[in-house]
A = this chain, B = another copy of it.
Amino acid sequence: MDKNRAMVIFQPSGRRGEVPKGTSLIEASRRIGVDIEALCGEKKICGKCIVRIEEGRFEKFGITSGPGHVSPWQEEEGKFISADRKAEGYRLGCVAKVEGDILVFVPEASRAGKQVVSKAARDIHIDHNPAVRVYYVQVDPPTFEEPTGDFERICRGLERDHGLENLTIDIFALRQLSGALRKGRWAVTVSVWNDREVIRVRPGRVEQAYGIAIDVGTTTVAGYLCDLQTMEVLETVSMMNPQCKYGEDVMARITYQMTNEDGLQRMNDDIIKGINELIEKAVAGTHPSEKESKRPGKTAESGNIQEDGKVYRCLTREDIEDITIGFNTAMHHIFLSLNPEYIGVAPFPPAIHHSMDIRARDLGIHINPSSYLFVLPVEAGFVGADNVGVLIAEEPYKQEENQLIIDIGTNGELVLGNRHKLISSSCATGPALEGAQITFGMRAAPGAIERIEIDPETKDVNYKVIAREAWRKFSAPGDMKAKGICGSGILDLLAELYRSKVVLKSGAFNKADLEGHPRFRKNPDTGHLEFVIAWAKESSIDKDIVITQKDIRQIQLAKGALYAGCKLMIQRMGLHKVDTVKIAGAFGTHIDREKALIMGLFPDCDIEKIHGVGNAAGDGCRTALLNIQKRVEANWCARNVEYIELTVEENFQQEFMESLQLPHMTDEFPHLEGIVPDDILNQ
């Protein structure tokens, strides 16, 4: 072996590979294909990537491993790894570098689980007016008297039969034309983009055309395969954003790009590859049998298959003739291979706002080769095309009532207004609401606590984990296999801690009440206060899952940023309150409206007027796919919604500090009356 390289083996997966000496363990895991949590993007602040270096001679693998084969211990690791654990060989994956052959154990808590993603398409009204339409045309064969070329011949037919004028044709479609005309005996079906350009030619008569709307979130990518004629959603597919390994949030990825020469290239390659896989998955879903679905677009032929009495429309990738795609501005830039560096630095200008029509082939997206991707326009550096998607799906600019739309993802995006005026903003909720920076925070994967209830009397905890129906109360402890707490669990948690008086308005533990409670304790290692949510015996990681005072502070910071943002926007609009609150994003599907109000995530509102609108960004992409007018509307939104940079508002700091508190009974939260006990609100 090259003496500048070393063998790294990850356990328990057993995956192995050689890497250059000096490679960090996190980087090595990426190269070898082992997913280790790296929420902060190697900024050494999340402490999620703890691994253990095994010591000894491992004959099975033919290597000798030990702490001597990694770079020396750094002081900063001490923040996350106690002296005892250090002695056992624990290290931070982003700090420790490979210096020789090693066997690395990745503890369950550090493994990046397969996320549970569910972004179903909502049933929303869309006017049918797709960018890609199919037209059937029949022409006379050429003669000596009339030897006009193939393209001009079908253009004449298309003008005569369908009123289409001044058409052009993409070179890739032109290559199909002469053969298709002859195969179809001078009758073809042409796909026309924007009534302007021919992008596909097929022999004979074909009625169908398909498109896919894609919503690229920081964490999740969702795709909606649609019939462009019937508007039916044929398949909903989703996957984790493969860029997660470069960092959990937008800033982490921008940092990754700035600190790695090929950072942009690598992240771009990953998302392009991911989207191609997503498209394959969507296309495979249209095939009846498993066997065929394994290799869609490769072995399978396009066409109808009848099986078990059902008719399946079996698509290939080439049957996808239109794509719309939305994302936040950083994901937008990385997807387009645009340097995202400048949107990470004040005043955060994006490279472009306007939508773009880009040939799929120019981006390496494998669909019908002449087809375009419609890239939704961007509002600002921190309010992206995804927010434009939310806008065109929810259409607050067509309403008289004032709507506050909150899209809570890794970054919070806010829109407020009505048909007269719309303003948008973003607030750095940070990844705490999604589980990062929380001791036992994790993604929404199996084993994550997603719902919590705390009994105000006994302060006993009942909870539910993802991938298990039964709550703790109705299960044997060993069946819960809890691993951590995900975003929706964290929202529940703060509300419940507050309502059950475990914490006070200030967010501090209610020591007076908790004194002597078995779940409340001082951590023997750190000396910090913590409250046990799930006992070690209920967990799959053999540890008590706790919420610490510091965790609570992190959640408060996030909710405070969001609340302050909403409040400043309401002030800026000259309003006192909003008529409706819409919550979009994954939270929008799972959120408990009452608990969101209890924890003070946003200003007071009639609970009946709080709506979860699910993946509205994805819905927006879908409306743009099926109705070309929505693309015009999207550009209008991107340039007419006034973006406000909250952090430079005069009273931002003041509002933010005040928003850290949990709600109390003032004029500000009349709707909490009867929901939260008086003695709590009036403490």
Chain A residues close to B by CB (< 8 Å): 142-144, 147-153, 168-169, 171-172, 174-175, 177-179, 182, 336-339, 341-342, 346-354, 356, 358, 361-363, 378, 380-381, 639, 643, 645, 648
- Contact indicator B151/A351 (Cβ below 8 Å): yes
Q: Known contacts A178-B339, A338-B178; is A346 also within 8 Å of B151 by CB?
A: no
Q: When the two chains form the complex, which single residue of B171, B179, B350 contacts A150, counting CB atoms closer than 8 Å?
A: B350
- Contact indicator A354/B142 (Cβ below 8 Å): no
- Contact indicator B353/A175 (Cβ below 8 Å): no
Q: When the two chains form the complex, which single residue of B142, B337, B648 contacts A349, counting CB atoms closer than 8 Å?
A: B142
Bound CA–CA A495/B677 (angstroms): 116
> Which B-chain residue is minimally distant from A375 (CB atoms)?
B171
Residues of B within 8 Å of A143, CB to CB, are 347
Q: When the two chains form the complex, which single residue of B337, B347, B351 contacts A147, counting CB atoms closer than 8 Å?
A: B347
Bound CA–CA A339/B176 (angstroms): 9
Residues of B within 8 Å of A356, CB to CB, are 168, 171, 174
Residues of B within 8 Å of A338, CB to CB, are 174-175, 178
- Contact indicator A352/B179 (Cβ below 8 Å): no
Residues of B within 8 Å of A147, CB to CB, are 347-349, 380-381, 643, 645
- Contact indicator B152/A353 (Cβ below 8 Å): yes
Residues of B within 8 Å of A182, CB to CB, are 342
> Which B-chain residue is minimally distant from A171 (CB atoms)?
B358
> Which B-chain residue is minimally distant from A353 (CB atoms)?
B149
Query: A275 → chain B, closest Cβ, in Å?
Result: 16
> Which B-chain residue is minimally distant from A172 (CB atoms)?
B362
Q: List 21 A-B contacts (CB under 8 A).
A: A142-B349, A144-B346, A147-B347, A147-B380, A149-B349, A149-B351, A149-B352, A150-B350, A150-B351, A151-B352, A151-B353, A152-B354, A169-B352, A171-B356, A171-B362, A174-B336, A174-B351, A175-B339, A178-B338, A178-B339, A178-B351
> Which B-chain residue is minimally distant from A339 (CB atoms)?
B178
Residues of B within 8 Å of A348, CB to CB, are 147
Bound CA–CA A349/B168 (angstroms): 18
- Identify which of A148, A171, A363, A643 gathers the most chain B CB atoms within 10 Å of its CB: A171
Residues of B within 8 Å of A169, CB to CB, are 352
Bound CA–CA A147/B342 (angstroms): 11
Residues of B within 8 Å of A177, CB to CB, are 351-352
Bound CA–CA A340/B380 (angstroms): 50
Query: A186 → chain B, closest Cβ, in Å?
Result: 11
Residues of B within 8 Å of A648, CB to CB, are 144
Residues of B within 8 Å of A381, CB to CB, are 147
Q: When the two chains form the complex, which single residue of B144, B179, B349 contacts A153, counting CB atoms closer than 8 Å?
A: B349
Bound CA–CA A147/B378 (angstroms): 12
Bound CA–CA A629/B152 (angstroms): 22
Bound CA–CA A175/B350 (angstroms): 12
